[in-house]
Amino acid sequence: MKDLLTGLLGAPEGVVLYQLLFATQFTIYLSAIAFAGGGTVGALVTLLRIAPARSARSLATAYIWFFQSAPLLMLLFLFGLGVPRLLGVNVNVWLAASAALTLYTSAYLAEVWRSAVQSIPTGQWEGAEALGLRFWQTLRLVVLPQAVRVSLAPTVGFLVQIIKGTSLAYIIGFSDLMSVGKRWANAPVEGTEPFIIYPLMALIYFALCFPLSRLSLGLEKRLGTVRKTPPIAA
């Protein structure tokens, strides 16, 4: 692969492109970890958020509020620099970056999933209750299957946010597409000027994100979406 690109484009262009593509895998891994971790924590928070116990709900609400209001960059600094210095231990950058992105993701997903669950008309709950189903049974058998449909589009859409979000992890020393690209852009090598490298990196990010955006849009058209999805940026 490296030889192919170098042969095709020559040095340094071939080498640079190879290194960028190689580093992209870490962007993907980190995104996957954040999605899996954020999804798991998010599911737990969602359950707390809709649980009958009032204290559980308040706790979940506070959690969602805090991690949706906290900038991702600050979470990265807190886990990458703050916690290690506070505890006087070394924290692996993978761990730090994963933790920050997981919390960030979990809050968003919990919010999406909560609104999906609560978008199901109360008549459904009442109907199931009338049949003698318990809370958890109603949730599992009646509400969740419907809620999953409408939350699919925003959930996939948030993957785009995660991928874009991982681009900040280089700031705490994580090595990925962003950090490798930035190093090349700063290198005084002809053919790796910032106006070449950054568009190239943007294209790679775009190639990762755009299909997911489209998929999300397609899902939204086919399955609908939660009425008030929180905004998306980065």
Partner 1 sequence: MDLRFFEIYRRSDYLLLLLEGAALSAALTITAALTGMALALALSGARYARLSVLRHVAAAYVEFIRNTPLIVQLFFVAFGLPTLLGYQWPFWAHALLALTLNFSAYFSEILRSGYATVGTGQTEAAAALGLKPRQTFFKIVLPQAVAKTYPSLVSQFIFLFLTTGVIAEIGVNDLTQAGKFIDSRTFRSFEVFFTLTLIYILMSLSFKGGLAVLQRRLFRWQVAR
How many CA atoms lie less than 13 Å away from 179 in the CB half-sphere? Answer: 14
- Which one among 131, 141, 187, 202 touches partner 1, defined by CB under 8 A? 202
**Of 5-13, 55-63, 165-173, 218-226: span binding partner 1 (CB under 8 A):** 165-173
Looking at residue 129, what DSSP letter applies? H
Report the site for partner 1 in 87-106 (rule: CB under 8 A).
87-88
Name the minimum Å distance from CB 176 to partner 1: 11
Nearest approach in angstroms of CB 167 to partner 1 is 4
CA distance 201 to 203: 5
Closer to partner 1 by CB, 34 or 72: give it: 72
Could you tell me if 63 and 44 are in contact, meaning their C-beta atoms sit under 8 angstroms apart?
no
For partner 1, which residue of 124, 126, 145, 206 counts as binding (CB under 8 A)?
A: 206
Q: C-beta of 125: minimal distance to partner 1 in Å?
A: 27
**132 dihedral zone (left: phi>0; alpha: psi -120 to 50; beta):** left
Considering only residues 172-201, where is the footprint of partner 1 by CB under 8 A?
178, 181-182, 185, 193-199, 201
**Sequence-distant contacts of 209-213: CB under 8 A, at least 24 apart:** 209/160, 209/163, 209/164, 212/156, 212/157, 212/159, 212/160, 212/163, 213/157, 213/160
Residue 52, phi then psi, degrees to nearest 5: -65, -30
Task: Work out which of 55, 69, 90, 122 binds partner 1, going by CB under 8 A.
Answer: 69
In this structure, are residues 110 and 46 in contact, taking their beta carbons and an 8 Å threshold? yes
Binding mask 47-66 for partner 1 (x = CB under 8 A): -------------------x
Binding residues for partner 1, rule: CB under 8 A, are 66, 69-75, 77-78, 81-88, 160, 164-165, 167-168, 171, 178, 181-182, 185, 193-199, 201-202, 205-206, 209-210, 213, 230-234
